[in-house]
Chains A and B, each alone.
Chain A
Amino acid sequence: MSTKILSKSEGFYDVYDRRPGTDKDTTHYCPGCGHGILHKLIAEALTDFGVKDNAIIISPVGCSVFAYYYFSAGNLQAAHGRAPAVATGVKRSLPESIVISYQGDGDLAAIGGNEILHAANRGEAISVFFVNNAIYGMTGGQMAPTTLIGQKTTTTPYGRTVANEGYPIKMSEIIASLTAPVYVERVMMADTKSISNTRRAVRKAIKNQVEKKGFSFVEVLSTCPTGWKMTAPQAEEWIKTTLAQHFPLGVLKDISGDVEPLNLDHHLLPTDRIGKAINLPEADADQPKFVIPDTVNEEIKISGFGGQGVLSLGVWLSEFGMREGLNVSWIPSYGPEMRGGTAHCHVKLANRPIGSPLVVHPTILVATNRPSLEKFEKEVIPGGKIFWDNSLMDITPSRTDIIRYPVPATEIANQLGNTKTANVVMLGVITGVSEFLDENIVRRTLPQIFKKKHLLDINMQAFNKGLEVAASLKRIA
């Protein structure tokens, strides 16, 4: 038998040269299958709306996996069920293109249930064509989520039962229940009249995208004579008498006339403005002069309750050290270390490169609660410094081979009117008694940490109080 093709839509390739074998003119679909007709309706619509050159087709896994043999468009072939996610990535990158996500019932309603639901819920500005023929075609006639009760398939040889497989899923009804989709309709392809109606629905779904209206979804009840073990006329009849009775036809939702076109434009920032946009540092023209030794090798552990600002204090020390040209690292208590309810961080500051960022034997321990002092006191190196908030605990370090700095940080902070400044009081004390921190660097940097003036003022007071405490402690020492 020879076939003469009178005309082919410009939305199709002239010759299907991706199709294996010698036949490059016809599709791979079985006789009587609905896919070819739906392909043709889509190709025609893309041509008629003048968008065939901007169209991108996402083909699924299933019988229409080879849609890219036919559509003269950009073609992406997706993993099973993932076409709406792939379409999302494409459309977000190319908002001006017309993105068609084409899926069967196993692909969309079973393995890809999550992807279609969320693409619809986000209102991705794409057109989805959902071919429902109540069976898995490509894999050999297995049950689909849309297979009817009692319908025999290769995996429901005794017929689908409610008890074992549940009810056929009505995807259009589910999609239509979401707020974002602008157009949801179920149609069938069973005769000339219903195909003509499907043509109208296909065109509407594509036109909606051309007009940037949002997410459109057309479910098409379609024939699978092979899977159903019927002749083509029997299959058409079965759609009308049976399938369409379980999946009611009609518009389930249409707000496309009521919505404004979406603004999908990207405004790419010019290269010279990227640094500022992503908050890259600018050179500090007023970098103050500072003096620190060239033998810095501090390993600092700061520990206390969450909310006492111990992690921030560590970050600040690292920031100052960096501005002094030191190598620094900061790492918060993490993983199993977090057992015990105290938050702490490890800070290293050194002239030489830093290997491990973890502090095992601190040169400095800052403890702002009792458990921290009890836990970490023994780790401090002989000759190391321990700063502790003596307004919050009634114990003192028991070791005599360390330098002791009792600091009533919380008490001073409360006197200043803000408990949260206790860590800045502690910072002042550390700055005052340590050679690796230059007061000028700290003073220059604090305004960049506390950008609001009232916060800066009170924290500067806290810092100065800390320096006073340091001076008195040094006198005692």
Chain B
Amino acid sequence: MERQLIKGNEAIVKGAILAGCRAYYGYPITPASEIAQAAALYMPLVGGTFLQAESEIAAINMVYGASGTGQRVMTASSSPGISLKQEGISYIAGAELPCVIVDVMRGGPGLGNIAPEQSDYHQMVKGGGHGNYKNIVLAPNSAQEMCDLTMLAFELSDKYRNPAVVLADGFIGQMMEPVVFPKPVTEFPEKKWAIRGTVGDKRNLISSIELDPDDLERHNRKLQQKYAIISQTEVRFQEYELEDAEYILVAFGIVSRLVQSAVDTLREDGVKVGMLRPITLMPFPTLPIEKYAANERVKFFSVFELNNGQMVEDVRLAVNGKKPVKFYGRMGGNVPTIQELVDQVKKQMREL
């Protein structure tokens, strides 16, 4: 297959189009604007819709409308913009509409800065808007995965009638790498619930209202059941040098690339270290972590993030006290060097 050198942000749009997405609604924000720009460039050429909305709020509600018609639709933004979208995401989750939301995370809180952070983990993985809902969250760590996981996001989103998030960061968005693009998707699931303005779907209703407490509880239980099924069937993760690892480093997104290099360096020094990388953050790879936590060989887990320690909470829940769980995070857009990670692991080993 031919490889194309391409920015992660652009790979997302090409992947989306190959996945059958023909509608993009968004609002410009650094460092996600290249996604809107690429969508503006390509959507009209394939007969799709690109619309720069008046606000993040309008954009996500346009997504709500387009998704209600059964169309594969997406939006993209960066952290402050995602905060604004949360209202709409809650309605989309409540109405059980599929859609893909890309979050190219930047530094916060507030306006923060445009440098890479991973501080949207909580707002995307744990819900973010009001109500008992969860997004499906996929975390790419390469330009190739920006394409592949965007395509997967459309598939899972349709399959479970649930918003799916591609949680990237400024680094992966800006980075150019070779990407092999797959063939366009030609088979799509039937959407009997969609509203298409025909006699056949006149009884259909897209709504998140359930006035009766029993009805709303039933609806919520159904949602939780769905998340449970997703947790059982859709977990994806990468294992790197874990066969004999005594120390397990956990990282997602761009940090996993740094940690992978740190593992190589530590291995050269004879340290038996490996990496477990969650590719799906919701569902979280709880069982694999539980399995390693139960292994006598493993001495500790160490979580590296570009935030104040968000994913580490899920690692701790999975480890459940069986082994120490260390954490090292950088914030503000600062990215650790490989040596910094290596030194941290060695320090944590000494402290054990």
Other A-B pairs, 16, CB within 8 Å; known A90-B66, A92-B51, A332-B174: A77-B205, A77-B206, A85-B61, A87-B65, A89-B63, A89-B64, A271-B184, A274-B18, A277-B45, A278-B14, A278-B45, A278-B46, A280-B2, A281-B4, A334-B116, A336-B333
Closest Cβ neighbor of B211 among chain A residues: A20
15 contacts between A and B (CB under 8 A): A56-B197, A74-B197, A75-B195, A76-B206, A82-B64, A90-B65, A271-B184, A278-B13, A315-B176, A328-B5, A330-B5, A331-B171, A335-B107, A356-B261, A360-B338
Q: How far is the CA of A186 from the CA of B205 in the complex (A)?
A: 30
On whether the beta carbons of A322 and B3 are closer than 8 Å, the reply is yes
Interface pick from B68-76, B218-226, B281-289: B68-76
Q: How far is the CA of A284 from the CA of B1 in the complex (A)?
A: 11
Cβ proximity bits B26-65 to A, threshold 8 Å, 1 near / 0 not: 0000000000000000100111110101110111011111
On whether the beta carbons of A328 and B61 are closer than 8 Å, the reply is no
Interfacial residues, chain A to chain B (CB-CB below 8 A): 18, 20, 53-56, 58, 65, 68, 72-79, 82, 85-94, 96-98, 114-115, 117-118, 266-269, 271, 274-275, 277-284, 315, 318-319, 322, 327-332, 334-336, 354-358, 360
| B23 / chain A contacts, CB cutoff of 8 Å | 89, 92-93
On whether the beta carbons of A77 and B69 are closer than 8 Å, the reply is no
| B177 / chain A contacts, CB cutoff of 8 Å | 328-330, 357
Q: Given A92-B23, A315-B176, A360-B338, A86 and B64 touching (CB < 8 A)?
A: yes
Q: How far is the CA of A74 from the CA of B320 in the complex (A)?
A: 48
A93 to B: closest C-beta gap in Å? 4
B130 to A: closest C-beta gap in Å? 11
On whether the beta carbons of A114 and B49 are closer than 8 Å, the reply is no
Q: How far is the CA of A98 from the CA of B196 in the complex (A)?
A: 11
Question: Which single member of A74, A280, A284, A330 contacts B204 (CB below 8 Å)?
Answer: A74
On whether the beta carbons of B199 and A355 are closer than 8 Å, the reply is no
Q: Given A74-B201, A269-B47, A357 and B171 touching (CB < 8 A)?
A: yes
Q: Given A20-B212, A76-B206, A77-B209, A97 and B197 touching (CB < 8 A)?
A: yes
B31 to A: closest C-beta gap in Å? 8
On whether the beta carbons of B338 and A88 are closer than 8 Å, the reply is no
On whether the beta carbons of B260 and A355 are closer than 8 Å, the reply is yes
On whether the beta carbons of B5 and A74 are closer than 8 Å, the reply is no
Cβ proximity bits B261-304 to A, threshold 8 Å, 1 near / 0 not: 10010000000000000000000000000000000000000000
Question: Which single member of A118, A331, A360 contacts B176 (CB below 8 Å)?
Answer: A331
Q: How far is the CA of A94 from the CA of B65 in the complex (A)?
A: 10
| A275 / chain B contacts, CB cutoff of 8 Å | 181, 184
Question: Which single member of B3, B58, B63 contacts A281 (CB below 8 Å)?
Answer: B3
Closest Cβ neighbor of B215 among chain A residues: A20
Q: Given A58-B65, A79-B87, A90-B68, A53 and B4 touching (CB < 8 A)?
A: no
On whether the beta carbons of A356 and B55 are closer than 8 Å, the reply is no
A426 to B: closest C-beta gap in Å? 19
Closest Cβ neighbor of B63 among chain A residues: A89
Q: Given A76-B68, A278-B45, A355-B260, A18 and B205 touching (CB < 8 A)?
A: yes
In B321-338, the 8 Å CB interface with A consists of 332-335, 337-338
| A18 / chain B contacts, CB cutoff of 8 Å | 205
On whether the beta carbons of A360 and B339 are closer than 8 Å, the reply is yes
On whether the beta carbons of A355 and B17 are closer than 8 Å, the reply is no
On whether the beta carbons of B46 and A90 are closer than 8 Å, the reply is no
Of B18, B54, B65, B177, chain A has the most CB atoms within 10 Å of the CB of B65
On whether the beta carbons of A93 and B69 are closer than 8 Å, the reply is yes
Question: Which single member of B113, B196, B333 contacts A94 (CB below 8 Å)?
Answer: B196
Question: Which single member of B22, B184, B204, B335 contacts A75 (CB below 8 Å)?
Answer: B204
On whether the beta carbons of A85 and B53 are closer than 8 Å, the reply is yes
On whether the beta carbons of A115 and B58 are closer than 8 Å, the reply is yes
Of A96, A269, A319, chain B has the most CB atoms within 10 Å of the CB of A269
Of A86, A89, A269, A281, chain B has the most CB atoms within 10 Å of the CB of A89
**Taking the complex as formed, is B235 at the interface, i.e. its CB lies under 8 A from any CB of chain A?**
no
Q: How far is the CA of A330 from the CA of B58 in the complex (A)?
A: 35
| A328 / chain B contacts, CB cutoff of 8 Å | 5, 177-178
On whether the beta carbons of A98 and B197 are closer than 8 Å, the reply is yes
On whether the beta carbons of B57 and A82 are closer than 8 Å, the reply is yes
Q: How far is the CA of A94 from the CA of B201 in the complex (A)?
A: 13
Of A74, A274, A356, chain B has the most CB atoms within 10 Å of the CB of A356
Q: Given A54-B197, A79-B88, A85 and B204 touching (CB < 8 A)?
A: no
Closest Cβ neighbor of B199 among chain A residues: A53
On whether the beta carbons of A74 and B195 are closer than 8 Å, the reply is yes
On whether the beta carbons of B2 and A355 are closer than 8 Å, the reply is no
In B77-100, the 8 Å CB interface with A consists of 87-88, 91, 95
Q: How far is the CA of A331 from the CA of B69 in the complex (A)?
A: 39
A127 to B: closest C-beta gap in Å? 14
**Taking the complex as formed, is B175 at the interface, i.e. its CB lies under 8 A from any CB of chain A?**
yes
Question: Which single member of A20, A75, A87 contacts B205 (CB below 8 Å)?
Answer: A75
**Taking the complex as formed, is B170 at the interface, i.e. its CB lies under 8 A from any CB of chain A?**
yes
Closest 6 CB pairs of A and B: A89-B65, A97-B197, A335-B115, A355-B261, A74-B195, A85-B61
